[in-house]
Amino acid sequence: MDKLTPTQLIYQAWQKTVQPLPYDNGKQKIDCYFADPMDKCVPVKAETHCTICGAPITHGVPVKKALSSNYTNWDQHKAPSSKYVGPACYFTIKLNTKYHRMALDRYSFCATTDHLSILNRWQVRDYLIKPPKPPFVLVCTVSQQKHLALHSRISYQQSRFYCQFENQTLLIDPTFKPLVNFMEALYSIGISKQQLAQGKLNYAKLKDYDFTGVKQIMIKLANYVQRPDYELAVHVATQIKEVDALSYLNLTPRVKAQPERL
Ligand SMILES: [Zn+2]
């Protein structure tokens, strides 16, 4: 059998997962019902390919029906002359108008060969640190409106794998964990995500600590901020206990100089 395309893996994962798919956004639990793409598919002639991913298809949705006027990925189509979008690609962009206008675009997710998991950002964090058994597709959205699945790649290894983070296809390796842990420690001593995103520190939060420790943090941050996966690490960083953060960062309170006695 030919290798699946990323959207075929995602679609197959959804087909094998019990509906509705649970999603916990941290405040409430939501049931996700995505629309079955076959409802809109028609049989197509032999040797037809999906215009988007280029996979051979037996059924498809006419391009005019499948892709809205806001669609902008035309230049990346693998079979530009085809007039059909296959069920797998269509599944990832289709809106379920019957159920709160729900679409996969709105969510971060991980698809394995037999399961589709809808993820909040803290679950994405855990997947980045402990990826599932390959093959899998991991997507992390911030905008919740881009067709990220169409840009995603299948990962075949746990030691080096892809995460589609908005428009970037990032390669993640085990060095991501110390990066996240560092971000989480800074975040947990009061450096905001906005400051972290800019690679900045809030010195008001650091003034009471020993300067050697602070200097080490500045050097480490300056190195980390160059990394392509830096922004993703800031995005998924979670709060930890302040005492653990201080210990991780090796920060000790500055010893105040004692006034000399006369
Ligand atoms: Zn396709």
Over residues 7-54, the pLDDT tens digits come to: 999 999 999 999 999 999 989 999 999 999 999 999 999 999 999 999
**Measured in angstroms, how far is the CA atom of residue 51 from the centroid of ligand 1?**
6
Residue 50 Cα to ligand 1 middle (Å): 5
Instruction: Give the list of residues 6+ apart from residue 153 with CB closer than 8 angstroms, or none.
Output: 6, 137, 162, 164, 169
Q: How far is the CA of 124 from the centre of ligand 1 (A)?
A: 25
pLDDT (tens digit per residue) in 129-186: 999 999 999 999 999 999 999 999 999 999 999 999 999 999 999 999 999 999 999 9
Token pair 């993703």: residue: 232
Distance CA 52, CA 74 (A): 8
pLDDT exceeds cutoff 60 at 1: no
Contacts of 17 (CB under 8 A, 6+ apart): 114, 115, 116
State in Å: Cα 29 to ligand 1 middle: 31
Q: Is the pLDDT of residue 254 over 90?
A: no
**Best CA proximity match to 238, nearest among 140, 123, 72:** 123
Distance 59 CA to ligand 1 centre (A): 11
Distance from Cα 85 to the centre of ligand 1, integer Å? 6
Q: Which residues is 164 bridged to in the sheet?
A: 139, 169
State in Å: Cα 106 to ligand 1 middle.
19
Q: How far is the CA of 213 from the centre of ligand 1 (A)?
A: 52
* Distance, CA of 146 to chain centre: 12
Cα 257 to ligand 1 centre (Å): 68
Distance 87 CA to ligand 1 centre (A): 7
Query: Which is more confidently placed, 61 or 256?
Result: 61
What's the 232 CA to ligand 1 centre distance in angstroms? 27
In terms of C-beta density within 10 A (0-12 exposed, 13-18 middle, 19 or more buried), how is residue 262 classed? exposed
141 membership: H or E segment, kind and range: none
Question: How many angstroms separate the CA atoms of 243 and 241, rounded?
Answer: 5
Amino acid at residue number 247 = S
| Token output for 177 | 């964990």
Q: How far is the CA of 64 from the centre of ligand 1 (A)?
A: 15
Contact present, 94 and 58 (Cβ < 8 Å): no
Instruction: Output the pTM of the full model.
Output: 0.94
* Cβ < 5 A residues, ion ligand 1: 50, 52-53, 86, 89
Q: Of 199, 157, 193, which Cα lies nearest the Cα of 174?
A: 157
pLDDT value at 262 more than 70: no
Are the C-beta atoms of 61 and 37 separated by less than 8 Å?
yes
Q: Is 100 left (phi over 0), alpha (psi -120 to 50) or beta?
A: left
Ligand 1 centre distance from Cα of residue 73 (Å) = 13
CA atoms within 13 A on the CB side of 37: 27
Ligand 1 centroid – CA 92 distance (Å):
9
- 42-49 β-sheet, strand order: 42-49, 56-62, 84-85
How does 187-215 read in b/e, with b if 16+ C-beta sit within 10 Å? Answer: bbbebeeebbeeeebeeeebeebeeebbe
Question: How far apart, in whole angstroms, are the C-alpha atoms of residue 39 and residue 198?
Answer: 46
Q: Residue 261: its pLDDT value, please?
A: 67
